[in-house]
Amino acid sequence: MLQLLRYYEILLDYSSLLFYNILAMSGYYYIFTYGCQMNVHESEKIAGLLREIGYVQSSDCETADVIVFNTCCIRDTAEKKILGNIGDVKHLKKNNPSLIVAVVGCMTQQKGIAESLKNKFPFVNIILGTHNIEELPKLVSDIDNKIIKRQISVSSEDNPEICETMPIYRTSGTNAWVNIMYGCNNFCTYCIVPYVRGRERSRAPETILSEIKNLLANGYKEITLLGQNVDSYSYEGYDFAYLLEKISEIGGKFRVRFMTSHPKDFNGKVIDIIKNSPNICNNIHLPVQSGSNRILGLMNRRYTRERYLEIIDEIYDKIPSAGITSDIMVGFPTETDEDFQDTLSLTERVRFSNAFTFVYSPRNGTVAAGMEQLPYSVKRERIKTLVALQNKISAEKSLDYIDNIEEILVEDVNPKKPGTVCGRTESGRLVTFSGEKALIGEFVNVKITSAKSSALWGVKE
């Protein structure tokens, strides 16, 4: 089915090309995407919008007529990279003076940044914030038709209405991303997201359910629900557990994943639904950030180390095969060696199957940016120690899979090793085994035969 879907998409691409060649083929787009899964999905919406006005995807930015930078500002490293990449496309305007360059998303939404981007990059034509992406096609057309040259449009509205009519051009293979909510109310003191994404807004359950049914009817085998804090999903009294239960009641064979969960809102009801619903994956991303109660307090995370461990124990107690992953940060202002030791001991105790580890990066306008900062040399040593510990745990946990028979949803061929394909276990571990392209989109039982760090290999049963 999925093969068929892809084939149709290719056909559709060529036919739309022919159609637009005769009528209105406007040119090629190229999108640079940075940041979280939410942004990856947003780029699918940007692609959908551009395709509606006759643009088709270009294989590289050199041949594009519209280049979009869909930005992130979660850490300084992300911002620096993006600024460098924007600067790098300036020369393309020499060969193609009608090239349109747009910068959109989280970075532009920060105070004063749209204005400074406008001054720093005079060749950028469009700057849009996170709340008004749907203006993109009109602006691109207006620039293309020489009605305007440049436009900056960033809305400071904290509670914008959710746009339910945005076209989506999906490029994520067997998996389809589905937003269940937007924004964040938590104001963790290190985090810029609430300032650039506005307050929490949840989509209606019936809209989400009908989108999912549609996707399944079109051959998608895995749905990933997206939200900054999915556990605080709330729509007219319906909560996340209700939504998960309704989704699990849809018939047929498919998988559901969701991210991100927040320990202050995660609860036993959700654990029970995961346990009792074969379609809801036992893969839980539950960022802890720190193992020190003092630092968790300063971060405004609103749970303690003890409460976090209680949730972990409940998950492993009810679902022993669960794959729990996390985000962990080092170098938060005032973090002492003792605080850091608490993070290491929590990491040892939980034994995450994988963790994203970050060095704290001060973000303008957040509370923590005004606190006393640690020297980079301390942060660097701590991240090295944490990464080494987590790598050791991931490798050890991989060995637990050996001889297991795991159901794998095949996602892709392994480009580095012809004749092999890869996909994930229900718990989220990547497995490679011998197989052909035709298996993509199929559920296959695989016996795990070997493991190296967090990667697993196996043979088809």
- C-alpha to C-alpha distance for 18 and 25, rounded to whole angstroms: 8
Stretch that binds ligand SF4, among 26-34, 102-110, 188-196, 236-244 (CB under 6 A): 188-196
Residues 6+ apart with CB under 8 A from 436: 413, 419, 421
Residue 53 exposure: Cα atoms within 13 Å on the Cβ side: 22
Kindly tell me which residue out of 36, 344, 367, 455 binds ligand F3S, with binding defined by CB under 6 A: 36
- C-alpha to C-alpha distance for 125 and 181, rounded to whole angstroms: 30
Partner that binds at residue 329, options ligand SF4, ligand F3S, ligand SAH, none, CB closer than 5 to 8 Å by kind: ligand SAH
- C-alpha to C-alpha distance for 179 and 42, rounded to whole angstroms: 10
- C-alpha to C-alpha distance for 382 and 134, rounded to whole angstroms: 42
Question: For 383-399, b where at least 16 C-beta lie within 10 A, e where not — what string?
Answer: beebeebbeebbeebbe
8 Å CB contact between 319 and 428:
no
Query: Does 106 engage in binding with ligand F3S (CB under 6 A)?
Result: yes
The interface with ligand F3S within residues 191-230 (CB under 6 A) comprises 192-193, 196-197
The residue nearest ligand F3S at its CB is 35
Kindly tell me which residue out of 31, 53, 72, 368 binds ligand F3S, with binding defined by CB under 6 A: 72
Kindly tell me which residue out of 50, 74, 225, 413 binds ligand F3S, with binding defined by CB under 6 A: 74
Q: Least distance (Å) from ligand F3S to the CB of residue 191? A: 9
Q: Least distance (Å) from ligand SF4 to the CB of residue 228? A: 4
Kindly report the number of other CB atoms within 10 A of residue 405's CB atom.
10
Q: Least distance (Å) from ligand SAH to the CB of residue 37? A: 10
8 Å CB contact between 335 and 297:
no
Q: What residue ranges bind ligand SAH (CB under 6 A)?
A: 74-75, 190-191, 193, 228-229, 260, 262, 287, 289, 327, 329, 358, 360-361, 363
Structure token digits, residue 59: 């294989």
Partner that binds at residue 106, options ligand SF4, ligand SAH, ligand F3S, none, CB closer than 5 to 8 Å by kind: ligand F3S
110 φ, ψ to 5°? -75, 150
Query: Does 229 engage in binding with ligand SF4 (CB under 6 A)?
Result: yes
User: Of 187 and 356, which has the nearer Cβ to ligand SF4?
Assistant: 187
Residue 453 φ/ψ region, left for φ over 0, alpha for ψ in the -120 to 50 degree band, beta for the rest: left
Stretch that binds ligand SF4, among 99-107, 131-139, 185-193, 308-316 (CB under 6 A): 185-193
Residues that bind ligand SF4 (CB under 6 A): 184, 186-188, 191, 193-194, 228-229, 262
Residues that bind ligand F3S (CB under 6 A): 35-36, 38-39, 72-74, 106, 192-193, 196-197
